[in-house]
Amino acid sequence: MRLPDKKTLEKRQLIYSALLILFFLFILSGFIRLQVTHKNIYVQKSISNSIRKIEIYPVRGLIRDNKGNILVDNRPSFAAALIPKVVSDSTIQVLSQLFNIASDKIKKQLRKDYGFRPVIIARDINQEQLAFLEENRLAFPGIVTIVESKRFYPEGIRSPHIFGRVGEVTPKEQLFNPNLKTGDLTGKSGLEKGYNSELKGTKGVTYARVDAYGKEIGMYDINRNVPPVHGSDLYLCMDYKLQKFAESLFQDKRGALVAIDTRSGGILALVSKPDYNPADLSGKIDPEIWNQLLHDENHPLYSRAIQSTYPPGSTYKLVAAIAALQEGIITPQWTAFCPGWFKLGRKTIHCWNTAGHGRVNLKQAIKGSCNVFFYQLGLKIGLNIWEKYSRMFGFGSRTGIDIPNENKGLVPSTAYFNKRFGVNGWTRGNLANLAIGQGELLTTPLQIAQFAMILANKGVYNKPHLVDHIYQYSTKKNINFPAPTKYVNGVSDSIYHFVRDGMHEVVNGGTGWRAKVPGIDMAGKTGSAQNPHGETHAWFMGFAPYDIPEVAISVIVENGGGGGAVAAPIARKFLEMYFYGKIIPRPVIPKNTIQTEIQQPLKIPDFKILEPLPVSTWGDSL
């Protein structure tokens, strides 16, 4: 065999050296990729296999009244969770039996979060279940118990429509907030939902070492641990003693009461009855209790103060009065004759006072709540002007109170009537109905209380709100929530003065005399709204004191009857407690006092729109 020459050997050596250099460069690039370029990725993978990230739930913020009294607190609760990547089918079967949860449902939950993140499958577990899990932790790898908190309500605290409730996040909620994870708790209603971002706090995290079976074998680097941040505390505008007293006024009644501080817009009381015990919906909810609440014909889950809508009855006559005066349609001296009835087309409709009020001017009509006067006034105003002033005073729109699910009510317009009845299908009877707060018009008790605040302040008001300020644990500072000041433009002070004076007479010898608080000069308006489903709803709205207002109030009692007889005394008792801290003996009936108001139904005439009557005929005779 011929040996290669020296030149060939040198060439081969050069090739082998180049290959060896390339091989070492390849190895070096791999080391660089592992140790430098993709270091964080591989470190995380290594950590995920041996280090477990454990989230620590923060303590949810408390809810307090303006005196600092705790209204909504927390108590420790235990939850059972599984580590998806570690748990076995046999463990799932055991937990299925322990918590009476279908195994398929558990597996479905685990598929959403496959990995080492604990997935909560049962909350608020009892002591026996907790003891079983702790005793058998080594026998069932993948099971962990988590300490969290659930809402606790001190004795005597109810008001569930104010506080709301907390529950586990749903997939739909996760779509709107990607930061929410499966198993997280979030506010579902009331203040818990409206201020969830402030109340929930920030999760903490610790890192624990785990073996190949997923069992914790000790802490990792404590310097990497992050403590949870306590949720902020809410401080309400109300003194809860007053709220509690207001709720007691609705014993065996259905209805609502809203009281607002006219100087700030702060809610002093917000009552919806009937209600329920908020503790029943804290933590694990009993299906039987939930179904009972859901199907209760009194609808205790529904907040009548902000969600239920009602015809406002005669309380709304003030809107017609302001519109007619401001637009120059009538003067304060304009009169109408009330014989106790009013002829409209082929229909005869009656005033609540069947004996009639006689000839009355606007102030007398407000004091005596004369329907016949306002039937005629409504026809003179017309729908467009009536709608304009209704919306000026916030009706047909949400007030913006700081709890969700507020109803905006309904202010009918020409377009609304045309759509509902056809272009020529509605009548002047609809207009007459609206002027006395009946018909298609719908308002919430909160809107009526806001209207009383606007009248008290002559067009200046603040957005109604429950929360005065929050306390942040992270900064140890109070954060205030000043409500924006709003203005009703386009109504003169002289007209506000005139209408307020009429409301003053309502309480001092008019239909609202039962609302009069001894020693406190005040103003108000009663209402009795027809209800197609039963007895008449009783209304009262007002403010006090008259010259320097502090409180605006609205009260509705469903199927209560006359507003002056039923709703006005409730308002009086509340205001007595507010001003004096006690109930004062019922006053003696003043002489020449209008006793009550029972609204008579107005049936819409079955004819087309009529031509307006000549202006000269109004107020002369019927």
Residue-averaged pLDDT of the chain? 85
Residue 389 has pLDDT above 90, yes or no: yes
Domain ranges of the chain: 53-74+146-236, 80-104+111-122, 301-616
Q: What is the pLDDT of residues 393-430, one digit of tens each?
A: 999 999 999 999 999 999 999 999 999 888 877 877 78
Asked if omega into 274 is within 30° of 0 (cis), the reply is yes
Q: List helix spans (H) across 51-167.
A: 89-99, 103-112, 127-135, 160-163
How confident is the model over 71-126, as pLDDT tens digits? 999 998 888 888 877 787 888 888 888 888 888 887 777 776 656 677 888 888 88
Distance CA 487, CA 397 (A): 15
- DSSP state letters, 311-362: --GGGGHHHHHHHHHHTTSS-TT-EEEESSEEEETTEEEE-SSTT--EEEEH
* Whole-number pLDDT of residue 1: 55
Q: 372 or 570: which carries more pLDDT confidence?
A: 570
Share of the chain above pLDDT 70, in %: 87
Per-residue CA distances from 403 to 166, 240, 258, 269, 445 (Å): 14, 18, 14, 14, 15
**What is 301-616's CATH number, 2.40.30.10, 2.70.150.10, 3.40.710.10, 3.40.140.10?**
3.40.710.10
Confidence band (pLDDT; 50, 70, 90) for 606?
Answer: very low
- More confident call, 602 vs 466: 466
CA angle 413, 415, 417 (to 5 degrees): 70
**Confidence band, pLDDT 50/70/90 cuts, at residue 618:** very low
What are residue 213's DSSP bridge partners? none
CB 298 within 8 A of CB 355: no
CA dist 125 and 99 (Å) reads 8
Q: What is the b/e burial string over 556-591, where b = at least 16 CB atoms within 10 angstroms of the residue's CB?
A: bbbebbbbbbbbbbbbbbbbbbbbeeeeeeeeeeee
Q: Is the pLDDT of residue 612 over 60?
A: no
| Residue 100: Cβ within 10 Å count | 8
Peptide bond into 312 cis (omega under 30): no
Q: Is residue 38 very low, low, confident or very high in pLDDT (cuts 50, 70, 90)?
A: low
The answer to whether 541 and 524 are in contact (CB under 8 A) is yes
Q: In sequence order, what DSSP letters do the residues of 421-464 get, joined into one string?
A: H-TT---HHHHHHHHTT-TT-BB-HHHHHHHHHHHHTTTEEE--
| Predicted TM-score (pTM) of this structure | 0.84
Q: Which stretches within 200-249 are classed as H helix?
A: 240-248
Residue 370 has pLDDT above 60, yes or no: yes
Buried b (16+ CB within 10 A) or exposed e, 225-251: eeeebbbbbbbbbbbbebbbbbbebbe
> What length is written for the chain?
622
Token pair for 614: 């000549």
How far is the C-alpha of 271 from the C-alpha of 280, rounded, in Å?
19
Summarize the chain as % helix, strand, coil (round to 5): 35, 20, 40
Q: Say whether pLDDT at 206 is over 70.
A: yes
How far is Cα 133 from Cα 184, in angstroms, rounded to an integer?
22
Alpha carbons 92 and 110: distance in angstroms, whole number? 10
Cβ atoms 525, 537 nearer than 8 A: no
Q: DSSP 3-state assignment of 275?
A: coil
Give 620's pLDDT tier (boundaries 50, 70, 90). Answer: very low
Nearest-10 Cα torsion for 4, 10, 16, 17: 160
- Give backbone dihedrals phi and psi of 606, rounded to 5 degrees, phi first: -95, 50
pLDDT of residue 16: 75
Q: What is the CA radius of gyration of the chain?
A: 35
Helix or strand or coil: residue 535?
coil
Q: Answer whether 212's CB lies under 8 Å from 81's CB.
A: no
Residue 602's pLDDT band, with cuts at 50, 70 and 90, is very low
DSSP string, 309-325: -B--GGGGHHHHHHHHH
pLDDT bin (cut points 50, 70, 90) of residue 607 is very low
pLDDT at site 103: 80
Task: Tell me what pLDDT residue 320 has.
Answer: 95
CA angle 138, 143, 149 (to 5 degrees): 125
Beta bridge partners of 524: 542
Angle between helices 317-326 and 493-507 (to 10 degrees): 150
Specify the range with the lowest mean pLDDT, choosing from 14-23, 40-49, 292-301, 593-602: 593-602
First to last CA, the chain: 140
pLDDT at 2: 63
Among 258-262, 348-352, 364-368, 613-617, where is mean pLDDT lowest?
A: 613-617
Overall fold of domain 53-74+146-236: Penicillin-binding protein 2a (Domain 2) (3.90.1310)
Cβ burial of 473 (10 Å; 0-12, 13-18, 19+) is middle
CA 51 – CA 116 distance, rounded (Å): 10
Q: Residue 152 corresponds to which tokens in the numbers above?
A: 């606790």
Question: Residues with Cβ < 8 Å from 188, sequence gap 6 or more?
Answer: 164, 165, 166, 167
Crossing angle, helix 445-456 and helix 493-507, to 10 degrees?
120
pLDDT exceeds 80 at position 18: no
Query: Above 50 in pLDDT, residue 613?
Result: no
